[in-house]
A = this chain, B = another copy of it.
Amino acid sequence: MKTLVALLLLVASIVASGHDSSEEAAYQIYPLRLKSGAGSDGATVQGITCASWRLGVEAHNIIEWTTVPAECENYVGNYMLGQQYRQDSKAVNREAYLYVRALPLPKDGRNVWVFDIDETSLSNLPYYAQNGFGAEPYNSTKFNAWVEKGEAPALPETQKLYNKLLNLGIKIVFLTGRSISQTEVTSSNLKKAGYHTWHKLILKNTTEYSGATAMVYKSAERGKLEKEGYRIVGNSGDQWSDILGTSTGRRTFKLPDPMYYLS
């Protein structure tokens, strides 16, 4: 399967080259789609189907795992490259919009929406598709080399929400576990992917938050936002550590991500 994916990625990168509007960039990941019926639907791990494993991850029952079970690599790959992942992302973002649209929001310029970046605003699927879809141990050197390219496409369904929030006058705060040393490349990647504006882009000061979990770091930064007078009307992330803790926001949205788990 890896050879197939690598080949498709190559084709996709050729097909996608020369386009850089967000809508086109979004489609980078779809030419990679594998055929359904690749035989992974019935895959199991220790008596659990991979579909149930994924649901367990999304509902925060299965936690603190380090890699996708080897038995589920093909299942997760098919899920991520197929329609279901996009559909699931769409359902979450649509719900977020239905929620915020109905909110009576004071027009005081203090309304913010917090977005995580990786697997929430930007997709690292081109990287993970070449690295086992989370079934291989996390390799920070390789992953950071990918990040430094600044070529991650937007998650198209999140970007739709982002645009709608801007139209509603809500300020955008990106809050990411990426290091402040990655500020420039993150900023340019966001713009290249179609996120043309934001109120704040908060990256992790790895000295200040040395050893802190994502949940602790993000809770502290959201707390600062609230102290500055902002009203966090919504908070979107692909990890439970993005949306648990304190100052979580008026409502939270968990985007799908069966590829990795961050505490």
**Considering residues A47, A61, A90, A252, which has the most beta carbons from chain B within 10 angstroms of its beta carbon?**
A61
Q: From A91-99, A141-149, A164-172, give the one contacting chain B.
A: A91-99
Check: A52 CB closer than 8 A to any chain B CB. yes
Q: Is the beta-carbon distance between B92 and A49 smaller than 8 angstroms?
A: no
Contacting B at CB under 8 A, from A42-82, are 46-49, 51-53, 55-56, 58-62
List the number of copies, as a whole number: 2
CB proximity to B under 8 Å, residues A19-61: 46-49, 51-53, 55-56, 58-61
Q: Could you tell me if B60 and A254 are in contact, using CB atoms closer than 8 angstroms? A: yes
Which partner residue on chain B sits nearest A253 by CB separation? B61
Q: What is the size category of the interface that chain A forms with chain B?
A: 20 to 34
A161 shortest CB reach to chain B, Å: 12
A216 to chain B, nearest CB (A): 18
Q: Which residues of B contact A53 (CB under 8 A)?
A: 91
Closest chain B CB from A187 CB (angstroms): 29
Give complex CA distance A176, B80 in Å: 38
Given contacts A48-B94, A56-B91, 9 further A-B contacts (CB under 8 A): A47-B90, A48-B91, A49-B87, A55-B256, A56-B95, A59-B254, A61-B91, A61-B254, A62-B91
A interface vs B, CB < 8 Å? 46-49, 51-53, 55-56, 58-62, 84, 87-88, 90-92, 94-96, 252-254, 256
14 A-B Cβ contacts within 8 A?
A47-B90, A48-B90, A48-B91, A48-B94, A49-B87, A52-B87, A53-B91, A55-B88, A56-B91, A56-B95, A59-B59, A59-B92, A61-B253, A62-B95
